[in-house]
Structures are given as C-alpha cells and as structure tokens.
Structure 1
C-alpha cells in the first residue's frame, strides 16, 4: 500500500486567518483596557477588573493549549492504529491455507 494514500490531510491555517485572529485579540484586549481605564469607579475596582481580565486571558491560553494537546494525542493514536492496520492488511494473504 502506498504511503501517499494513507497520509492524512492536515488542515492548515492561512496567513489571513492567523492575522485576523491576532487583530481580533488586539482589538478586544485594547477595548477591555480602555473600558477599565475610563470606568468611573475607584482605582481599586479598576485594578481588580484588570487582574480578573489578566487571569481570564492566561486561563484561556492554558485551556487552548490543553485542547490542542489532547487533539494532537488523539491524532498520534489514530496514526499508530492506522499503521498497524496497514501492516496487517499488507501481511494478510487470503490464499494462504489456515
């Protein structure tokens, strides 16, 4: 069996999609920063909101990394299972007496 046939197609993000994600993150972070800075409350409330936002951003990155790692682990397992199946099929001789 040809290795090109069993090679999985890996989806790739385009440069435009990556740029859109970066711009979206920058705009939303800027909007939150401006909103907190101009909020008509005491400084300690703004500081509390800023720390909460920082915690939200870091936990979001951590969650995204965990989801990505889990997905990559399942892909590796799938590739190993696929390789084992291909090996069994390649070694199988239907005309061999049992």
Structure 2
C-alpha cells in the first residue's frame, strides 16, 4: 500500500490567514465608516460586505468538504484494489 504525503499546515500559516482576514475586514470597515456619504449608503455597502464575507466562508467550507469526500473515496477505492490481489488464488480451479 502506497502512503501519500499530506501537506502539513503550520501554526504560522493559520496565524497568517487569520491576520490577513482580520486586516482586510478591518480596513474595509474603517473605510466604510470614514466614507463621505449618507448613512444609508454606508449601511448598504456594509451589508454587501457582510454578504461577501459569509458567502466566501460558505464557499471555503464547500470546497473543503468536497476535498475530504474525494480523499475518503480514494482511500476506499485503494483499499478495494489492495484487497483484490490478496484474495486472488492463482491455483484455485473454478468449477
């Protein structure tokens, strides 16, 4: 059975991703607060920002779930392929 190497994620990778997300949200929020426009325009843009963030998180979850399902399917298929030669008896005569 071949062993696949899984890429490892370091804590620095997670910290960078979280920090990048926080900085981007904070910068857009600050820009919305200081935008020279009426309150309803800023609220509309903030609502659009909220929609983009939630849909991005949903997309990331869907992609992750699909990748995990693909990995599980590949492992099951590999187990079936590994089982076939183990069960095959070349000296067995079929009746």
**Is TM (by shorter chain) over 0.5?**
yes
Separation (CA, whole Å) in 1 of partners of 2:54 and 2:64: 15
Structural mapping, 1:53-72, within 5 Å = 53-72=49-68
How many angstroms apart in 2 are the aligned matches of 1:62 and 1:92? Answer: 46
**In angstroms, what is the RMSD of aligned CA positions?**
1.5
1:86 aligns with 2:95: no
Aligned residue pair count: 94
Aligned to 1:14: 10
> 1:53 Cα shift?
0.3
Deviations 1:5-26 (A, max 9, x none): 4343322211000000011001
Name the residue aligned to 1:46: 42
* Contiguous gaps of at least 5 residues in structure 2: none
| Structure 1: runs of 5 or more not aligned | none
